[in-house]
Amino acid sequence: MPLQRRRALVSAALCALAALTPVVAQVPKGSKNWTPVEENDFVKVKGTRFFSKEGPWFMFGMNYWSCMNLAADDDAGGNYTRFITEMDQMASRGINHLRIMSSSEGAPTIQPFRMYPPLMPAPDKWDEKIFVGLDRCVAEAGKRGMRLTMSLNNEWHWSGGFAQYVSWFNKDEQIPYPPSWDPTANPPWGDYTTNSSWGFEGYANKFYSIPEAQELFKRHIAKVMFRQNTVTKKWYYNDATILAWELANEPQTDGKLIQWAEETSRYIKQNAYNQLVTTGSEGKFGEQAFKEIHSLSSIDFACAHLWVQNWGAYQMTDQSSANLNSAIEYARNFLSSIGEWSVAINKPVVLEEFGFPRDNWLNQGKNQYLYASTATTRNKDTYFDSVLNTIVTSWAEGKGFAGFQPWAYGGIWRPEPRFRNKFNEAWAGDPPHEAPGWYDLYDTDYTMEIIEKYVIFVKTLIGHGIGKK
């Protein structure tokens, strides 16, 4: 399709997009008429786009990192009823992909700010109950036509990650944790720690230099890839539900990062050659760093993360339009650069993490939790609409982006009951080291309607032939 005609079609569709909202609101939730992922229908990459057997495939994703724990039995800290409910909710919204953890690490003593129970409580020891939770997550995703990106490690401490590997091979020494959410502080809601270390990244990145840690990590990769799902009886490495393996969540820049990324991604490709590999990188370190890691031949597609509040481009308690507009402008510029870099290396890019807080100034000074779910989502909705518009327009015009994945689905969970299970886990959309409710997407949020609106929009464009080349 000529570029001029394609742009005209996209422009016309964008003008009509607002009219979709009433239709979206009428879509029944909880329908069981799912189209499962077909056997051997592995998603492929061609240029800057994804393709399945049916043709162009766009990633309508959601971060659901706690999936394996939620899907575990109750005595292992799971909540299977909630898990099934939320899987149905996401599938009904058109979500076709989840990004989940397929790793978490423990220690000899209970650690704060951590997923519990961990999948690997000690070196070369795996918890079968959590593995069964992962099996269920993969099985239920495939049943609903959802693909998965399986994150294999973590720069940050909320799953154990790099830092726990370092501790294991240094006589279980104490990890110098960065500022993190302490649910016992400032009763009844909690607060961020003040006696924390800013040297955490340097400590975690020792992971790259410990041969024993690297060997253990490869054994963990093999343990997951070569697992036979107890539900579907499929081998993970040959299950089309698993779209991609991710090296780690947000690996930070380090002199040994590229060598590690190349060696690890090659190992994965050699053993799971039908599935894709990505990095988990944020894209915040500039053009050279983005291109260097994503140009590796064993990396199939690029990814980026966008955090306007965390990066200082938005103030959560400032309700001014100037504050919101600043965040939107920052996001547009960031996404424009990421798209250009992706086109330059001729690979698709996915915005695999982005989030935005609620209108939390409404909770301020009212003797209640700052991140309470009672706050509206006016600014969040406006921001999401802008970001999703930018991404799908980029995809339609062949300018790099091939999907989005908000952080993160909280579903039916809410912070107000202050409930934690026997492992002291809330399983909010926010991980254990952050304020619960900060970036959660709840099932009743209007933001979910906006996401679904863009699902319908992209499917309409595909029906008109957009994305076939």
Q: What is the DSSP letter of 125?
A: B
What's residue 26's pLDDT? 37
DSSP per position, 44-77: EEETTEEEETTEEE-EEEEE-TTHHHHTS-GGGT
| Domain layout of the chain by residue ranges | 36-463
What is the residue whose two structure tokens read 């886990």?
A: 425
Per-residue pLDDT of 233-264, as tens digits, reads 999 999 999 999 999 999 998 889 999 999 99
CATH no. for 36-463: 3.20.20.80
Strand ranges of the sheet holding 55-57, from the earlier edge strand across to the other edge: 44-46, 49-52, 55-57
What's residue 42's pLDDT? 99
Q: What is the DSSP letter of 253?
A: P
Burial grade of 186 (CB within 10 A; 0-12, 13-18, 19 or more)? exposed
The total number of residues written for the chain in this structure: 469
What's residue 19's pLDDT? 54
CB atoms within 10 A of CB 415: 22
440 vs 248, 356, 408, 436, CA distance in Å?
22, 9, 5, 8
- Write down the H helix ranges in 256-363: 257-271, 287-294, 321-345
Q: 168-183: string of b/e by CB count within 10 Å (b at 16+)?
A: bbeeeeebbbbebbbb
Q: Which of 222, 209, 228 is nearest to 165 (CA)?
A: 209
What's residue 198's pLDDT? 81
Paired strand residues for 57? 50
Stretch (H or E) spanning 111: none
Q: Which of 15, 3, 5 is nearest to 389 (CA)?
A: 15
Q: How far apart (Å, rounded) are the C-alpha atoms in residues 111 and 104?
A: 12
Per-residue pLDDT of 41-75, as tens digits, reads 999 999 999 999 999 999 999 999 999 999 999 99
Backbone angles phi, psi at 16, to 5 degrees: -90, -5
How far apart, in Å, do the first and last CA atoms of the chain sit?
9
Residue numbers in the chain where pLDDT is lower than 70: 1-31
Give the predicted TM-score (pTM) of the model: 0.95
DSSP three-state, residue 395: helix
What is the residue whose two structure tokens read 């909705």?
A: 381
What's residue 27's pLDDT? 34
Q: What percent of the chain is modeled with pLDDT above 90? A: 88
Q: How far apart (Å, rounded) are the C-alpha atoms in residues 46 and 120?
A: 36
What's residue 2's pLDDT? 58
Average pLDDT value over all residues in the chain: 94
Amino acid at 302: A
Per-residue pLDDT of 356-410, as tens digits, reads 999 999 999 888 999 999 999 999 999 999 999 999 999 999 999 999 999 999 9
- Write down the H helix ranges in 346-445: 378-396
6 vs 1, 15, 175, 339, 466, CA distance in Å?
6, 14, 53, 18, 7
335 vs 97, 210, 331, 350, 450, CA distance in Å?
21, 35, 6, 10, 19
